[in-house]
Amino acid sequence: MKMKITKKRFVLITLFIFPLLFFLFLSTGINSFEKLPILTETVSDVQKEDTSLKNQVTVLCFLGKEMDSKKGGFFNLNQKIYKEFYGYHSFQIIAVYPERYKEQADKLKSEIGAFTNMSRWRFVEMSEEGISSLFLSLKTSESLDYDLYSNRAFLIDKNLNLRGRNDDKDAKDGKLFGYNMQSVAELNNKMEDDIKVLLYEYRAALKNRNKADRKELGL
């Protein structure tokens, strides 16, 4: 006799069975999820004092020279991305700006920091040539504005690779190299999800490494 799926049984299945199956999937340690695509390998590093792209999950942005008129996007980035992920010790935002514009950068930093723990923000002063060279190393379909500003924020992994999407329905040829800071929807629905995928990728790799080490030690 076939068992009738009542509304009560359906609710019980939804509340208890599905979460259990999801937990079992996560606990297997099998890295079967789709990794975030690498769009560009070996991006130039930012080597200024104690700041580097290496061994960090980095959101890279270009402040330009007219920061005050463009600050809306950086506030969006702070609210929607930075505050979501700054608790991860390997996460950072690097904001590069041209030499001789430190006063504007300090003002922007102060305004963002009014209600934010800025420990994972890095403001880096560079020559105009250095900024252009760094941007060109991303090898994107975008370009810097005349004042060395971009409305895009770029996601760089721990090995200096540019991550993004190669099947994005809103991007030319499907390639999403950077995320529009002026669009709260894009930061929420795309960048936040992609950072979560990248962070999970590293957690899964670490878990598998630890499991292999224990097996080698006979534990």
Among the listed residues 147, 140, 158, the one whose alpha carbon sits nearest the alpha carbon of residue 195: 158
Q: How far is CA 101 from the centre of its chain?
A: 26
Model confidence pLDDT, tens digit, residues 179-212: 999 999 999 999 999 999 999 999 887 775 655 4
**Regions of the chain where pLDDT drops below 70:** 1-33, 208-219
The 8 Å CB, 24+ separation contacts for 129-135 are 131/62, 131/96, 131/97, 131/98, 133/44, 134/43, 134/44, 134/46, 134/96, 135/62
Which 3 state secondary structure label does DSSP give 148? coil
27, 192 Cβ separation under 8 angstroms: no
Q: What is the pLDDT of residue 187?
A: 98
The β-bridge relationship of strands 121-126 and 179-180 is unpaired
Rounded to 5°, angle at Cα 160 from 132 and 100: 35
162, 43 Cβ separation under 8 angstroms: yes
Among the listed residues 64, 84, 44, the one whose alpha carbon sits nearest the alpha carbon of residue 148: 64
Domains for the chain: give ranges and CATH numbers. Answer: 38-215 (3.40.30.10)
Q: Which amino acid is at 193?
A: D
Rounded to whole angstroms, the Cα distance separating 144 from 71 reads 16
Q: What is the pLDDT of residue 5?
A: 61
Q: What stretch of H or E contains 98?
A: strand 91-98
Q: What is the pLDDT of residue 30?
A: 39
174, 144 Cβ separation under 8 angstroms: no
Q: What stretch of H or E contains 59?
A: strand 57-62
Q: What is the pLDDT of residue 8?
A: 60
The two three-digit tokens of residue 94, written as one number? 């690097």
Q: What is the pLDDT of residue 134?
A: 98
Q: What is the pLDDT of residue 51?
A: 94
Q: What is the pTM of this model?
A: 0.81
Sign of CA dihedral 22, 28, 29, 35: negative
Q: What is the pLDDT of residue 116?
A: 96
Among the listed residues 35, 37, 17, 36, the one whose alpha carbon sits nearest the alpha carbon of residue 25: 17
Phi/psi for 137 (5° steps) reads -70, -15
